Amino acid sequence: MTAIRSFIALEITGAAVLDHIEKIQEELGRNRARLKLVEPQNLHFTLHFLGNVESARIPDIKEIFQELKFPAFDLELSGLRCFRPTRLRVVWVGVSKGADECIKLQQLLGQQLRGRRFSLEGRKYSPHLTVARARKGANRAQLLPVLDILEQYANYEFGTTRIDEVKLKKSILTPRGPIYEDIEVRKLG
């Protein structure tokens, strides 16, 4: 049986928000820091990383999606951050409005997935949009310029995007980076 590396996500569709993110990414890419920028088509909020799911289990997830009842909502993105400045690995954008809805949707899906015996991560969910990752082998000196950019954009307002669908995504890992494909899309609202 084949396994499909998959996750459940919310995608950013607001053109203005994407433009702001792209400008910040350009700035991150201009310095000498060793960062891998997330491609615009790959920007998303992960709700649940499912890992390798047997293809025979995909219909269970699709059924959860079909039964899902959740309203569409707005996400207001603000602030450029990282989880641990002393060991910078991931640069991300935060949520100033809509985080509660994001968390409720993540929890609702988690209950349904656990009820069907899917194994999920146990850590507390914190909605964030990854925009860059430190490359392997990058040392602190190579990442110092990023800390200055994080400070400069700590309170930056990226804008608001409408979240009106949730997606089950397939992730194909390649040497050039991941390729994501939609497996199932569920409209919200």
Active-site annotation, residues: 44, 128
Give Cα 141 distance to the centre of its chain.
Answer: 27
Helices of type H across the chain: 15-30, 58-67, 99-115, 140-152
Burial of 173 (0-12, 13-18, 19+ CB in 10 A): exposed
Q: Are the C-beta atoms of residues 80 and 149 closer than 8 Å to each other? A: yes
Token pair recorded at residue 99: 């985080």
Q: Which amino acid is at 53?
A: V
Q: How does strand 44-54 pair with strand 179-187? A: unpaired
